[in-house]
Amino acid sequence: MNATKFILGALVGAAVGIQIGILVAPDKGENTRKKITKKGGEYMDDLSVRLNGFFDNMTKKVSDVSDEVDKLAKKAKAEVNKVTH
């Protein structure tokens, strides 16, 4: 979880830094707004892809752990049945 927070913080920090750089650059307001909108959209798309990948990975891990717990529970039940019967 620490690595995830760090990566997310780094992405947000980079996005903010770039946005500030665009705002202080000498350009027409309309051009600056277009650049900010375009970059913001790109960052949101990238962040969305990364978060979806993260959640897909976590879902798979939870599913794998659940399957392993099921196997262990069935094995334990079978062992208990052997001992009691």
> What pLDDT, in 10s, does the model give residues 9-62?
888 888 888 778 777 777 777 887 788 788 888 888 888 898 888 899 999 999
Residue ranges per domain, the chain? 2-84
pTM (two decimals) = 0.49
Predicted pLDDT at 66: 93
CB 35 within 8 A of CB 28: no
Burial classification of residue 11, based on how many CB atoms lie within 10 Å of its CB (0-12 exposed, 13-18 middle, 19 or more buried): middle
Residue 1: pLDDT band with limits 50, 70, 90: low
